[in-house]
Amino acid sequence: MLYLLKVYALVAGAVFGLSGMVILAFLAWREVRAFAAARYRIQQRLSSLITQPEFFATHFAISRSFSRPRRATPVVSHKFQ
């Protein structure tokens, strides 16, 4: 009787151990997938900032274009030379 109890305990330990390892592997796989997806989104955001620098330069370019005259006029007119 004690022998069968030891065998059943060994089988139950193996079954619960293997099922625990499967569940742990599944949870780890989900975390790895979430981490990979987050890393991909971060890389996409950074690459969009690097490939589109016009977003940062737009305000400066607009302010310079309004402050400059449309046609270059000399300081001294040619009539007085």
pLDDT along the chain (81 residues), means of 10: 92 97 97 96 86 56 54 58 54
**Number of folded domains in the chain?**
1
CA–CA dist 41, 44 (Å, integer): 5
Q: Is residue 11 part of a domain?
A: no
What per-residue confidence (pLDDT) applies to 64? 53
Residue 3 lies in a domain: no
| DSSP for 20-66, written as a single string | HHHHHHHHHHHHHHHHHHHHHHHHHHHHHHHH-THHHHHHHHHHHHH
Q: What is the pTM of this model?
A: 0.48
Assigned domain for 36 exists: yes
CA distance 61 to 49: 18
Does the residue 40 lie in any domain?
yes
Half-sphere exposure of 61 (CA within 13 A, CB side): 6
pLDDT at 62 (0 to 100): 54
